[in-house]
Structure formats: structure tokens, C-alpha cells
Structure 1
Amino acid sequence: MWHDVGWQILAVWLVTATAMTLGWAVQYRTRNATLVDAIWTATMGLSAVFYAAVGSGSPAVRGLMAVLGGLWALRLFLHLLHRIRTEDGRYRYLRQHWQDNQAKFFGFFQAQALFTTIFSLPFLAVAANPGGGMAALMIVGILVWLGSLYGESIADRQLARFREDPANRGRTCRVGLWRYSRHPNYFFEWTHWFAYVLLAWGSPLAWLAWLGPLLMLVSLYRFTGIPFTEAQALRSRGDDYRDYQRSTSSFIPWFPKKQGSTP
């Protein structure tokens, strides 16, 4: 089995590493590393379509996975395009912290290529699913995907509208889903990966599908997600964000704590 799929994984890595190299070159010219997020999303979507095209599983399952993975990536890619005009504060901080060391930025971009290769393995698992008698799980998987994509889209839209108002400059978004979670977009991004766990049920590589929610959770909690984003929020919004941290759940949406309650 691994002999059969090894070339597929290698192909995803080679294409993604090439895309990230080109992205690094653009970053070198523009001094704007924000496009790394858009490249990561685009290559993830392409990997879903690629695995669907060359996989050995049921054509119906592979087709469904290509549509779901492709649409998820397309929505996120289009959302991120609006953010690459100026460099995100997180990357400005890295540029200052690394003193614009381009070797470190190149390594950072190539690390994203490796992450894409690993994060795309749930698509590989689904593409190997022979299907048959799995209609109920497929339906649940589609519902999980729809609910997650809807929740993430709403969270992104609410935050974008909040930031568009000049009166909110320097303030923390507490409207809509952001009243119940400091990172509702991350939460729904995480639940989205459970859709592929369900779609991979019965696949000889089904265990790989669990890498999606597991690695995404670790990444969000320990690396590029919550710690990175909140450090930038504290630098830009200070005490207002500290108050937000004390009252609002960091990840799973929940009712905010009342004023004066113990953190």
C-alpha cells in the first residue's frame, strides 16, 4: 500500500515546495510574507483534487472529497486574498525578530510545504476508501463539513466587518461568535477536519484521517494558531485584549464570564 501511495505523497511535497519557493521569492521582493497563508490553502485544495484523481477508492467517494476539499480551500483562499495587500502583524513581528533574515524566512516557507504534505494525508485516506454501505457516514460527514464551513465563514465575515469600521481601531471584536470564543474561526476549522474522518471510514488508510483534527488542534494550541495570534493581539490591543482573554473562552464557544468573576 505504501509503495503505491508513496509517489503521490512525494508529488504533493514537490509541487508544494516549489510553490513555497516562488512565494518566498515574491516575499523577498515585496517584504510581505502574508501570502504564505494563501499558498498553503491553495496547495491544500490542489492536494485534495490530486488525491481524488489518482486514488484507488470509490469514484463517488473520491469525487465527493474533491468537491468538499476543493470548496473548503477555495473559500478560505478567497478570504485570505483580502489580507495580503499589507503584511500581517504576526509576520511583521517575525521580520523584526529575525532581523529580516531571508534564510529563516525561506526555512519558514519550506516548513509550510512540509505541513501541507502532512495535513493533506486525510485526503489520501479518503481517496483510498472503497466505499460500499457507508451512506449514513457520508451524510454525517457532509453535514459536519457544511456546519463547519458555515460557522467559519460567519466568524470570518463578522471579524472583517468589525475591522472595516474605523471606530473599532485598537478594539477587540466581541460581536457574534466572537462573544463566545476568542477564536471561533479556528474552532470551526478544527471541526471541519472531522468530516474527512467520517469519509475515510472503511479505508485501509483510515487512521491517517485522524491526523487532520489531531495535528490541527496541536498546531492551533501550540504553534501557529492561538499563541501566535494572541501575542500579536496583546501587542496591538494591550489591556483591552487582556480583558477579553479573562472573560472569553479561548477556543470552544461558551458563554462569557460575568464582569468581576474569577478568571
Structure 2
Amino acid sequence: MKQRITTYALFAAGWILLLTAAPTAHFAAWNLLIQLAIFIPVVAIPAWRTGRMSSVDIAWPLGLAAIGIQTFIFAESLTPLTITVGACYTVIGARMGIWGIRMWRRGEFDHELPRYVYQRRRWERAGFRSERVSLQFEISVQALANATFLAMPAILISTNHSTRLAAVECLAILLWLIAYGLESLSDLQKSRFAAAAIASDNRTSICDVGLWRYSRHPNYFFQWTQWVALTILAVPSAVALHDRVSVAQVALFILGLGLAVYLMYNTLVVYTGAVPAEYYSVRKRPAYAEYQKTVNRFVPGRRRSI
């Protein structure tokens, strides 16, 4: 319970920071309302009725796309920088949202996805007795992340009036493009491998091709790298607010950007990413344990010999 209270307090602090700074308040207030308008009907109400939260895989990315669209609306000036960050959020969210909708249409949400089944193990170990309450907590955490720290790069950049891109901003955009391309490539490689495995009736084989030879989860790594790029992209905008907000607020904004990177790392590795996925992979695929010994879990690197 203490951990849950701390989590809520952290998100509350992030939202208060955005709300109490005049340049970010309007965007932040609307974004919270829009995230709630997405999460409540798409996942919170269905989860209360069905006991499943898998539709959060639709709500969360749609919330990111909504942040991108809001950037075009609430940006103080439509500049190359604000247009770029709005497009990045919209593309990230739309891509994952469309995939989530496809899964829903195929009936994959009729049963809880394994990563959310795994959450029940955590609730049991933590001593939480009400599954309904735990479901709503997990859903609210993802909604609040979209309302605060994950929206912070877009909200800060929306205050930037500069019509010229700084060198660091150009490098951040290039990093985002490369990471997005490599995430898409890794997903394509995995999809083709899975299709071939099904065609050959070899469903226990290990995807060990392309980028998957160097990371057990290259799609997660390059998704996280996109958030690193967005954070770097937003730092100059945070610093540029020094004449409109206090120095302490600028420092807290930069800290908040760092928290966005940490939150995505924790999500993609521990929370709903690599750890839950590998818990089931080891049980379904006997050779996966050997794959774990030879290939890095997250950051791509040289294969190890055993």
C-alpha cells in the first residue's frame, strides 16, 4: 500500500508542477481531462466488468497520440520543433494503437494478455486481496503517466517559439528517427519469424534472427531510445523557460524529463515488458534459457559464448 501511495504522490507532484507553471498549465489541464476521457471508457469500465485490463494496450497508445494532436493545438507557435514533436507522439501512439485495435478485433483481448496475468503474481506477493482495486490502480498509473511525465517533453516543447533547430535538437530528431526505424524493423523481423514458425508447425523455436541475435527485446530497447531522444529534444525548451518560471521549476522540469526516461525503462524491462514476457517464454520454449545466457536482455550487444 505504501508503494501505491508513493506512486500516486509522484504523479501528483508531476502534474502540480505542470499546472503551477503558467506556460504549461493550459496544456497540462486539458491533457489530464483527455487522458481520463480515453482511459475510463476504453479500459477502466470494461476492466471493472470483465476483470481484464488488456485493452489498456489500446488506451495507452491512443493517449500518446492524443498528446501529439494536442501539441498542434496548444503549441504557442507552430514551428519546425513543435510540429516535429507533435508528429513523433502521434506516430508512436497511432502505430501501437492500430496494433492494439487489431488484436482486439482478432479476439485476443477475450483472454487477459500474459503480461497482465503476470501482474496477478505481483499482487499476490504484495498481499493485495482485491483484484478489482488492483486492476483500477494499474490502469490509473498508465493514465497518470500519460498525463504527467510522458507528456512533459511535448508540453515543454509546446512553449518554445524558436523557428531554428539547435544542433542538439537536430541530433535528438535523428536519434528518434533511427530508433523508430529499428523498432519497426525488429517488429517486422519477429512477425516474419513467427509466421514461418507457424507455417512449419515449429511454435517452440526461438526468434534469433536480425536484431534479435543481439538483444532479446530489441523492439523494447529501440522504443525506449525514442523516449531518450524526446527527452533530449525537450531539454533546451525547459532551459529556455528560465525567464518565465523560477529556476527551481526549470530544475524540476529537467528532473521530470529524466523520470520519463526511467519510467519507460522500468515499464519496458520490469513492469509489463521483458520480465513478464520471459517468465512465460522459458516455460513455453525449452531452448529459451540458453538464449538468455548468450544474448543481452535489453541493450543490443555482442553474443556471449557458453
> Any unmatched runs of 5+ in structure 1?
none
Corresponding residue number in structure 2 for 1:126: 157
Q: Quote the offset at 1:187 in angstroms.
A: 0.7
Which stretch shows the higher mean deviation, 65-74 or 28-37? 28-37
Q: Cα 1:93–1:194, aligned 2, differ >3 Å: closer, same or farther?
A: closer
- Indicate the RMSD between aligned Cα atoms, in angstroms: 2.6
Which stretch shows the higher mean deviation, 239-248 or 58-67? 58-67
Q: Quote the offset at 1:28 in angstroms.
A: 4.7
Counterpart CA distance in 2 for 1:57 and 1:229 is 42
Counterpart CA distance in 2 for 1:168 and 1:11 is 49
1:181-192 superposed matches below 5 A: 181-192=215-226
Q: Quote the offset at 1:135 in angstroms.
A: 4.4
Q: Does the aligned pair in 1 maintain the 2:72–2:82 contact within 8 Å?
A: yes
Counterpart CA distance in 1 for 2:302 and 2:178 is 20
Q: Quote the offset at 1:241 in angstroms.
A: 1.8
Corresponding residue number in structure 2 for 1:46: 66
Q: Does the aligned pair in 2 maintain the 1:52–1:65 contact within 8 Å?
A: no
Q: Among residues 170, 173, 176, which one is paired with 1:142 in the alignment?
A: 173
Q: Among residues 247, 257, 263, which one is paired with 2:304 in the alignment?
A: 257
Q: Which amino acid aligns with 2:216?
A: R
Q: Which amino acid aligns with 2:95?
A: R
Counterpart CA distance in 1 for 2:194 and 2:49 is 28
Q: Cα 1:31–1:215, aligned 2, differ >3 Å: closer, same or farther?
A: closer
Corresponding residue number in structure 1 for 2:25: 6
Q: Quote the offset at 1:226 in angstroms.
A: 2.2
Q: Which amino acid aligns with 1:63?
A: I
Is residue 2:95 matched to residue 1:78? no
Q: Cα 1:213–1:257, aligned 2, differ >3 Å: closer, same or farther?
A: same
Q: Secondary structure at the match of 2:215?
A: coil
Q: Quote the offset at 1:216 in angstroms.
A: 1.6
Q: Does the aligned pair in 1 maintain the 2:64–2:92 contact within 8 Å?
A: no
Q: Which amino acid aligns with 2:273?
A: G
**Number of residue pairs aligned between Structure 1 and Structure 2:** 258
Corresponding residue number in structure 1 for 2:290: 243
> Any unmatched runs of 5+ in structure 2?
1-19, 242-249
Q: Secondary structure at the match of 2:183?
A: helix
Q: Does the aligned pair in 1 maintain the 2:115–2:276 contact within 8 Å?
A: yes
Q: Secondary structure at the match of 2:216?
A: coil
Q: TM-score, normalised by structure 2?
A: 0.74
Q: Cα 1:178–1:168, aligned 2, differ >3 Å: closer, same or farther?
A: farther
Structure 1 residues 77-111: Cα deviation after superposition (integer angstroms, max 9, x where no partner):
22333333314222234468779932321222112
Q: Quote the offset at 1:25 in angstroms.
A: 2.4
Q: Which amino acid aligns with 2:22?
A: H
Q: Does the aligned pair in 2 maintain the 1:19–1:39 contact within 8 Å?
A: yes
Q: Does the aligned pair in 2 maintain the 1:21–1:106 contact within 8 Å?
A: no
Q: Cα 1:235–1:17, aligned 2, differ >3 Å: closer, same or farther?
A: farther
Q: Quote the offset at 1:48 in angstroms.
A: 2.3
Q: Does the aligned pair in 2 maintain the 1:47–1:123 contact within 8 Å?
A: yes
1:95-110 superposed matches below 5 A: 101-110=131-140
Counterpart CA distance in 2 for 1:79 and 1:230 is 21
Is residue 2:108 matched to residue 1:88? no
Q: Does the aligned pair in 1 maintain the 2:115–2:272 contact within 8 Å?
A: no
